[in-house]
Chains A and B, each alone.
Chain A
Amino acid sequence: MEMINLTIDNKPIVVKKGTTILDAASSIGIDIPTLCHMKLHDMNIENKPGGCRVCVVEVKGRRNLAPACCTEATEGMEINSHSLRAVNARRTVVELILSDHPADCLVCAKSGNCDLQDLAQHLGIREIHYQGSQSHYREDTSPAIIREMDKCILCRRCEMMCNEVQTVGVLSTINRGFHSVVSPAFEMNLDHSTCTYCGQCVAVCPTGALTEVDHTGAVIRALSDPTKTVVVQTAPAVRAALGEEFGMEPGTLVTGKMAAALRRLGFDYVFDTDFAADLTIMEEGTELLGRLNKYLAGDKQVKLPILTSCCPAWVKFFEHQFPELKDIPSTARSPQQMFGAIAKTYFADKMNIKRDDLVVVSIMPCVAKKYESGRDEFAVNGNPDVDYALTTRELAHLINLGNIDFKSLPNEEFDNPLGESTGAGVIFGTTGGVIEAAVRTAYEVQTGKALKRLDFEELRGMEGLRKATIDFDGTLIHIGIAHGLGNARKLLEEIKAGHSEFHAIEIMSCPGGCIGGGGQPYHHGDVEILKKRQRAIYAEDKNKVLRKSHENPYILKLYEEFLGEPLSEKAHHLLHTQYFDRS
């Protein structure tokens, strides 16, 4: 490996050839401010348009300033990262951006979490010297995402996410010059487009241009309505990230504090989506084994591989882009929707609450869940199974509104009967988790033997595409895992072409799975945060006494009392769904 000698701010440093000035500087503790640049290490995700020009530095002998994010270090380079010229240019550039940006920080959804705001503070900008006309665009509200493009700074991160990572292709920069902006085709609203609402654009937006639709107000109204019984479910990935909103170290598990906070907010029952995740495994696992056994018996009509279906963005993705494959995914509803359906039937009956008086709120790491809860097929006479889906960030907001000192809360338990879960339910929150949970149950059901080890390391990791073969007592089951819709597309193309090697595939839309969901606390480009959340999820699994879905006593009770058996007619009615051709 060729090495390069250079100096940055008079400090000598040796770096590998190909290292950018930005990375070289950061390796010796010099943080050059950036705005458009974003790199998710190990995930092969990088946004480096070199467009914002905030990271410019002075390089001796060079005519103009060099953008640190895309200039490679060369032998003998002498860099001054904060010369008067560089700082002046940097400040002017940020002033220019601010001159075309609404000055409504006080009421902006992103205030306090905004990269541009931080940057302006960091550079001590107190006056905008160059004022002039600003760009104005129509605000676009969809079921899940709000686009306020007046706040767009053309960092192009969302465009990169939407096209290169997710291959959804809804967003593109349009027009040119001062009129350029990121938009769907023909400036149509997102809800007319093929947007999956994966929310990765929201997750990476440095400003308030892309945010989630805010349902906290509606939830507060429901909580203060004495005629309503309000139950809440919390998705597995939320507990591994919520703490970050309160200044806790990423990867801190806050399951107990979260339950306590929800109770203090006034939710009548604090339940866990993990319960529904266990239920999902029962249904999806049974479906998998059914198809698999037919296949192994020589039935050529049966469709394999079976694909997981718990991710709503993924569902919308294939409905738009691969409608011809809509028979392949499992028909099992997502845990959120299974929970809603069970809450508004089994639980409501049990507690003698009228459907209309029961409000189901879900806390999700996801913005697509907002869209999913609003899908027509998940409502009975216009009453949705899940009334409101809040993101992790919105929950943090609610907790703040409730004057709750989150960090000093005691750990509390979920309520029963829909609060009990196994470790298998927890790992739904990370890439590889759903299929690992399914394997734990399917193996034991199929072979009739108890698993000797429950940690399937071969299914875990952060690589975008992974595969593993699991020995089901002599029968080899080939499993594929994809996170990020671009990776999913590759597997779908293989299936379409008829040469997929897999029996079962897990697909998650967001890089990292739900831990990296569009509704999670902003990671600001720090991939280490995702890894820490993942470790927290597996730790929670490990600490559970029960780690296989089919051992969850409340699940067994649910079947016994209400559903009968997996794939029963009632289960079909409440826990399964159908897909639509949206091409």
Chain B
Amino acid sequence: MPKIKLAEKTVELIREICAQFNNQETELINVLHQVQHKLGYLPAEVQEVIAKELNASVAKVYGVVTFYSFFTMLPQGQHPISICMGTACYVRGAEKVLTEFKRQLGIEVGQTSADGKFSLSCLRCVGACGLAPVVLVGEKVYGRVSPQQVSKIIAEYQDGCASAQSA
């Protein structure tokens, strides 16, 4: 992993978040949520700052980050795409939808497209089983997605890109 240097501003932000939770080690997960919300991901350097602020070992912080699937150490695409792999979605063909996304984006689960626009992940049941199969792009929920709809969904987010290129 390439070493990155955190901007002073970022370090300050992390410190503030830790302080909000009284620098309590027991609040580690809340802190990680907040920091990831602000920064998008939790690179090693960020975890080191958090560990220091909460007076916890970096190994512990890393152990927690790698335990929970919600936390990520890699920057996500501009539009993170998550395919629900809950049972309802599975029996209604989520796998085919996933395969189609992989094919069209040319990336595997856990990867980000070369242009940084899309990242692909699977998640477990978002509780919208009535709409199975379900796909999330950012926080937007798409229901009853068929493999045929995949290109349309991707296109929705590529418009900006296309116009930017033509401009």
Spell out A's residues near B (CB within 8 Å): 163, 168-176, 183-186, 193
The docked-state distance in angstroms from the alpha carbon of A168 to that of B48 is 15
The docked-state distance in angstroms from the alpha carbon of A175 to that of B66 is 5
Query: With A185-B62, A186-B44, A186-B62 given, is the CB distance from A163 to B57 under 8 Å?
Result: yes
Spell out B's residues near A (CB within 8 Å): 1, 44, 47-48, 51, 56-63, 66-67
Asked if A185 contacts B58 (CB within 8 A), the reply is yes
- The smallest beta-carbon distance between A530 and chain B, in angstroms, is 27
Residue of A nearest to B56 (CB): A169
Asked if A185 contacts B47 (CB within 8 A), the reply is yes
The docked-state distance in angstroms from the alpha carbon of A171 to that of B57 is 9
The docked-state distance in angstroms from the alpha carbon of A251 to that of B113 is 64
- The smallest beta-carbon distance between B109 and chain A, in angstroms, is 15
Closest 4 CB pairs of A and B: A169-B57, A172-B63, A172-B59, A185-B58
Asked if A176 contacts B57 (CB within 8 A), the reply is no
The docked-state distance in angstroms from the alpha carbon of A31 to that of B109 is 48
Give the residues in chain B near A168, CB-CB below 8 Å: 57
The docked-state distance in angstroms from the alpha carbon of A163 to that of B58 is 12
Residue of A nearest to B57 (CB): A169
The docked-state distance in angstroms from the alpha carbon of A558 to that of B44 is 52
Asked if B67 contacts A185 (CB within 8 A), the reply is no
Give the residues in chain B near A176, CB-CB below 8 Å: 66-67
The docked-state distance in angstroms from the alpha carbon of A393 to that of B167 is 72
Asked if A174 contacts B57 (CB within 8 A), the reply is no
- The smallest beta-carbon distance between A169 and chain B, in angstroms, is 3
Residue of B nearest to A175 (CB): B66
The docked-state distance in angstroms from the alpha carbon of A199 to that of B83 is 45
The docked-state distance in angstroms from the alpha carbon of A183 to that of B59 is 8
The docked-state distance in angstroms from the alpha carbon of A516 to that of B40 is 46
Interface centre among B1, B62, B66 (most CB of A within 10 A): B66
Asked if B57 contacts A170 (CB within 8 A), the reply is yes
The docked-state distance in angstroms from the alpha carbon of A187 to that of B51 is 16
Give the residues in chain A near B56, CB-CB below 8 Å: 169
- The smallest beta-carbon distance between B127 and chain A, in angstroms, is 22
Residue of B nearest to A186 (CB): B44
Give the residues in chain B near A169, CB-CB below 8 Å: 56-60
Give the residues in chain A near B60, CB-CB below 8 Å: 163, 169, 172
Residue of A nearest to B43 (CB): A186
The docked-state distance in angstroms from the alpha carbon of A168 to that of B47 is 17
- Can you name 20 A-B residue pairings with CB atoms under 8 Å? A163-B57, A163-B60, A169-B56, A169-B57, A169-B58, A169-B59, A172-B62, A173-B63, A174-B59, A174-B63, A176-B66, A185-B44, A185-B57, A185-B58, A185-B59, A185-B61, A186-B1, A186-B44, A186-B58, A186-B62
Give the residues in chain A near B1, CB-CB below 8 Å: 186
A174-B66, A184-B59, A186-B44 given; name 8 further pairs at CB < 8 Å: A173-B63, A174-B67, A175-B67, A183-B59, A185-B51, A186-B1, A186-B47, A193-B59
